[in-house]
Amino acid sequence: MSLEQYRKMIDDTDAQIVKLVAERIRQSKVIGKEKQKLGKRIQDVTREQQVIANVRALARREKINEKDIEAIFRQLIRLSKSAQGITVAFQGEMGAYSEEAAAQIFGNEVKAQPYETLDAVFQAVEGGEAIYGVVPVENSLEGSISRSYDLMLNSSLKACGETELRVVHCLIANAGATLDSIKKVYSHPQALGQCGAFLRHLNAELIPGYDTAGSVKLIKEQGIKDGAAVAGARAAEIYGMKILARGIEDNQNNYTRFFVLAREDAAPTGRDKTSIVFSVKHKPGALFSALKAFAESKVNLTKIESRPTRQRAWEYNFYLDFEGHREDEVIKQVLEKVDKYCLFLKVLGSYPKAT
């Protein structure tokens, strides 16, 4: 056979693959409608793990790389979930880092619904306007997002997933702008602060706003020619704007961790984390005894933080993340031990660890 004939065979095979992908998406839409009728969640972590295990086994049988096949099918799963009609609430405008995190989790085709505040995101998921919410909970440079944790403390929603997003700040402006023409820079105060060295060199007026992508939208809609915004590249793409400079953050070790919120948390996967909040009784050694329960059971703590209760002065709630799922027998026993030393204990959710 000639080279052209082999290429024709590949083209025919590709056409079959595309048709099969389209058929899988059509089937997923049907399944999504059935789930909605039955009142079931769109995301089924247990089923996803079964699919991945099956295709890895098929890959072994066909003697091809299991990790490569898994990567392909994880993208197919994201496409399928999007086809099932997932609505994800996030704070900010389209192109915000929270919207980018939602796309990273659910795929680019997901229906992302912007809300102005974190409070509104929680209300949207609690009220059924959105199936999921994606909220920032921690930044590697700035620490925890206080408002997110305050809302989780008082909400019935659970963390059912997490992701980590590398934050790459860009200076974005209208077409025709140059670095020399920029006199004003708009963005969220945290983003402005994270780009201090670059912006001092730019010698422009800094104007804080409520959102990074919202600042891009502002300078576009108002036609501000001497202004720029600090935001992600996704915002420039969405609003058709020009990127004057990329990677302008002071510290490249800049990551934001996001929780996926839902009415229920996720089923066990074997590679899970759990988040809790508790306050201890006012007696010597109470906090030590609570934490000792994790050490004795060899449960790895990945985060511990104290925050004021806001009910009485100098009283604190403690937020913990640790490896394991609340349905694991070891974790059940640990939580029972910890509860003996607590005034209250709330499980914020168990979810697959970010990869």
* pLDDT tens digits, one per residue of 80-100: 776 676 789 999 999 999 999
The answer to whether 102 and 112 are in contact (CB under 8 A) is: yes
In a domain? residue 252:
no
Kindly report the CATH number assigned to the domain that includes residue 97: 3.40.190.10
pLDDT number for residue 41: 61
Domain that holds residue 331: 266-352
**Residue 153 covered by a domain:** yes
Q: Is 349 helix (H, G, I), strand (E, B) or coil?
A: strand
Tell me, yes or no, if 258 is annotated catalytic: yes
**Which pLDDT score is estimated for 38?**
66
Tokens of 115: 């809300």
198 is catalytic: no
Q: Parallel, antiparallel, or unpaired: how do β-strands 342-352 and 272-280 relate?
A: antiparallel
Burial class (CB in 10 A: 0-12, 13-18, 19+), 273: buried
Determine which one of 106, 256, 278, 294 is catalytic: 256
In a shared domain, residues 69 and 108: no
Identify whether 114 is part of a domain.
yes
Which CATH number goes with the domain that contains 347? 3.30.70.260
Q: Among 258, 259, 278, 294, which one carries the catalytic annotation?
A: 258
User: In this structure, what CATH number is given to the domain that contains residue 74?
Assistant: 1.20.59.10
Q: How many residues does the chain have?
A: 355
Q: Quick check: 239 pLDDT over 80?
A: yes
Q: What is the pLDDT of residues 214-231, one digit of tens each?
A: 999 999 999 999 999 999
Residue 168 has pLDDT above 90, yes or no: yes
Q: How many CB atoms lie within 10 A of CB 346?
A: 15
Mean pLDDT on 303-319: 89
Residues 230 and 276 occupy one common structural domain: no
Whole-number Å distance between alpha carbons of 109 and 93? 16
pLDDT at residue 312, rounded to an integer: 79
Read off the pLDDT band of 40 (50, 70, 90): low
Is pTM beyond 0.75? Reply is yes
**pLDDT value at position 85?**
67
Phi and psi at residue 93, to the nearest 5°:
-100, 165
Q: What is the pLDDT of residues 108-130, one digit of tens each?
A: 777 899 999 999 999 999 998 89
